[in-house]
Amino acid sequence: MSAPRLFEDRIAVLAMAALCFITLANVLIRYFTDESIAWTEEISGVLMFVMTLLAASSAFARERHIRIETIAEGGSDERRRRLARFAAIGVMVMFLILAVLGMRMAWDEFRYEESSPGIGLPKWWYSIWLPVLALVIAARAAVLVRRHAPQR
């Protein structure tokens, strides 16, 4: 596939592997002790969230997300470049908005000292990753916006 250049890939791969081991451990422990570890569901959910945003970020950087290509890949080079730039701007705007709103959400959870339902950890420990990783995606999109800029 592609060269392992992006730091997002490395962390996403680690998260994926961790998800496998946690789930397998859960099966084995339940098999041997008839008890299931309830907190793994919460950790797995957050790991899946982090993995998705990281791997999505590298997929945005490589422009591999699902989209309709019929119009965007047709026509002159100039039109293709403009539409690619437009798409990158769309991604950047979406995730900048999510970063701001996500920051606000995490801030509220911090202020009101909300704790997670499973383990009882502060909720903002999890949700803070939404604005952080949304900013990473917005930065990847910004690189694309520059790459597809009109050449002088």
Partner 1 sequence: MIAIALFAVFIVLMLAGVPIGVSLGLGALIAIAAANLDVQFFGLLAAPQNFYASLTKYPLLALPMFVLVGSIFDRSGVAERMVRFAIALVGRGSGMLPLVAILVAMVLGGISGSGPANAAAVGGVMIAAMARAGYPPAFSASVVGAAAATDILIPPSIAFIVYSVLVPGASVPALFAAGMIPGVLAGLALMVAAVWLSRARGLGKTEANEPRPPFWASLREASWGLAAPVLILGGMRAGWFTPTEAAVVAVFYGLFVGMVIHRSIGWRDLYGIFQEAAELSAVILMVVALASIFAYSVNTLGIVDPLTKAVVASGMGEYGVLAALILILIVVGMFLDGVSIFLIFIPLVLPIVQAFKWDPVWFGVVMTLLVAVGQFTPPMAVNLMVSCRIAHVRMEETVPWVLWLVVAMLLATIAVIAWPELALWLPRSLGY
Site for partner 1, rule CB under 8 A: 1, 4, 9, 12-13, 15-17, 19-20, 23-24, 26-27, 31, 41, 44-46, 48-49, 51-56, 58-60, 64-73, 83-84, 86-87, 90-91, 93-94, 97-98, 101-102, 104-105, 108, 126-127, 130
Closer of 108 and 146 to partner 1 (Cβ): 108
Residue from 113, 115, 116 nearest 39 by CA: 116
Distance in angstroms (rounded) separating the CA atoms of residues 35 and 49: 26
Q: Least CB distance from residue 34 to partner 1, whole Å? A: 13
Q: Least CB distance from residue 60 to partner 1, whole Å? A: 8
Q: Least CB distance from residue 2 to partner 1, whole Å? A: 8
Q: Least CB distance from residue 29 to partner 1, whole Å? A: 12
Closer of 93 and 146 to partner 1 (Cβ): 93
Q: Tell me if 137 sits within 8 A of 91, measured CB to CB.
A: yes
Q: Tell me if 134 sits within 8 A of 98, measured CB to CB.
A: yes
Distance in angstroms (rounded) separating the CA atoms of residues 41 and 35: 14
Closer of 23 and 146 to partner 1 (Cβ): 23
Closer of 90 and 120 to partner 1 (Cβ): 90
Q: Least CB distance from residue 142 to partner 1, whole Å? A: 14
DSSP-assigned states of every residue in 68-112: -HHHHTSS-HHHHHHHHHHHHHHHHHHHHHHHHHHHHHHHHHHHT
Query: Scanning the structure block, which residue is given the tokens 């392992």?
Result: 4
Q: Could you tell me which residues come within 8 angstroms of residue 73 by beta carbon, excluding any fewer than 6 positions away?
A: 80
Closer of 10 and 146 to partner 1 (Cβ): 10
